[in-house]
Amino acid sequence: MLKVEQYDYIRTAHRVYGKKIKQIARETGHSKNTIKKVLRGEYTGYKPRSQQPYPVLGPYLQIIDKWLEDDKKSPKKQRHTAVRVYRRLCNEHGFTGAETTVRSYVREVKARLGLNIPGAFIPLEPVIGGEAEVDWGNCIAILGGRKTRLKHFCMRSKYSGKHFVRCYPCERQQALFDGHIQAFSFFGGVFPVLIYDNMTTAVEKVFQGKKRRLQEAYDRFKAFYNFEPRFCNRGAGHEKGGVEGLVGFSRRNYMVPVPEAEDLAALNDKLLQECLAYGDHTISGRRASVNELFEAERSHLLSLPDIPFSNVDSVCVKADKFATVRIDKNRYSVPTAYAHFKLSVVMHIDHVEIFYRNKKIVCHRRLYGNNKWAL
């Protein structure tokens, strides 16, 4: 029996968004006859065949079974979707069958393994206006042979769907700013309006309604780029549903299997190539590719400043008797000649520079976490 939300989705997709029966059937996995019954107002159900034959997919069934079985050991948000399975079969095993066949079989196996995915949602009709949505997600990658928990920054155009994804060790304010700077460079301009949830790196206090007191540093950052921030109502993250969808999409499509890279920079290079390739994709229900739609909205973007925002933090510290300085609960070594000296530290997102007066005496890779040493 169809669930109420499935019934509602089918009728809304057809009556409100004008989608054809064939397209709704493809998106929902229901037969065209079932769709027609729902559109006639019948609240119907159906019984699937007890066994579905897969003559073309037969030689690949064990491969799919193994991938989905292995998914039980992977993070829930980094498991194979049917689309990812289909693409891997084509790219890695030369599969030439239809994607719908793969979808049908993956649905069966996921039900058997208890890996069912949530139901569909109604997409919002895009309206050109120079708006983008911003959010963070959690992911796992293997960097230099070590399993590493990361945060991935996501920015997505509401109109074209063009998006940017980049991983960071944390989601501190400096990482938030760097994500924006890298995204603006990727898009070639600044969206006049950016939509967020009430992240503490941007919002100091939430008042009733839409009024917010911004963090001082974030207020300076948005003034530098001249965009207008808009914040969702509390507990209403769905108000920026496009980028929330991107958080999951990027995990499932760019990070399955769990990605391996030499370091974070190499991983981000891979993600950049995925974002560029996505531009050739045409989103379901739209008549043009992501890149073609983005070209139409490019003129709505603000131009980039001649000089990018200076995204550094500076502190003054004193080296101890072991010739180290303590920064953010981690220790960095300096030449022994500078033990007990007062030093200036400039912290970039990925490295730390230490100065004595105006002379740079050492540079280290930036450490994240607690009680780590850079010698």
Domain at 219, CATH number: 3.30.420.10
Residues 106 and 249 in one domain: no
Sign for the pseudo-dihedral over CA of 358, 364, 365, 367: negative
Confidence of residue 35 (pLDDT cuts 50, 70, 90): confident
pLDDT tens digit string along 253-277?
Answer: 999 999 999 999 999 999 999 999 9
- Mean pLDDT score across all residues of the chain: 87
Residue 34 within a domain: yes
Which of 45, 79, 113 is where one domain is finished? 113
Mind giving me the DSSP string for 295-356? HHHGGGSBPPPSS-----EEEEEE--TTSEEEETTEEEE--GGGTT-EEEEEE-SSEEEEEE
Q: Indicate whether 121 belongs to any domain.
A: no
Which of 300, 335, 361 is at the close of a domain?
300
Range of the domain at 227: 131-300
Is the pLDDT confidence value at 4 over 60?
Answer: no
**pTM: predicted TM-score of the whole model, two decimal places:** 0.69
139-145 average pLDDT score? 96
Query: Is residue 151 a part of any domain in this protein?
Result: yes
Cβ neighbours of 295 (radius 10 Å) = 14
Interval 350-364 mean pLDDT: 94
Q: Do 97 and 197 belong together in one domain?
A: no
State whether 78 and 143 are in the same domain. no
Same-domain pairing of 194 and 109? no
Which of these ranges, 103-107, 148-152, 312-316, 346-350, has the smallest mean pLDDT? 103-107
**Coil, helix or strand at residue 17:** coil
- pLDDT over threshold 80, residue 149: yes
Q: What is the pLDDT of residue 210?
A: 80
Question: What pLDDT does 268 receive?
Answer: 98
Please choose, from the candidates 349, 320, 347, 342, the residue with its C-alpha nearest in 3D space to the C-alpha of residue 333.
320
pLDDT by residue (tens digit) across 76-113? 889 999 999 999 999 999 999 889 889 988 988 887 78
Q: Are residues 350 and 287 in the same domain?
A: no
Residue (of 146, 243, 136) closest to 199 by Cα position: 136
Would residue 292 count as lying in a domain? yes
Residues 165 and 262 both lie in one domain = yes
Indicate if 352 and 207 belong to the same structural domain: no
pLDDT at 345 exceeding the cut of 60 = yes
**Could you tell me if 212 and 164 lie in one domain?**
yes
Indicate if the pLDDT at residue 44 is higher than 60: no
Q: What is the predicted pLDDT for the residue at 40?
A: 73
Q: Which residue has the higher pLDDT, 103 or 183?
A: 183
Q: Domain count of the chain?
A: 3
Look at residue 42 in the predicted model and tell me its pLDDT.
Answer: 58
Res. 302: pLDDT tops 70: yes
pLDDT tens across 224-253, in order?
898 999 998 876 656 677 888 999 999 999
- Does residue 305 lie within any of the structural domains? no
Whether residue 83 is contained in a domain is answered as: yes
Final residue of a structural domain among 268, 300, 332: 300
Q: Distance (Å, rounded) from C-alpha 255 to C-alpha 271? A: 9
Residue 250: the pLDDT is 95
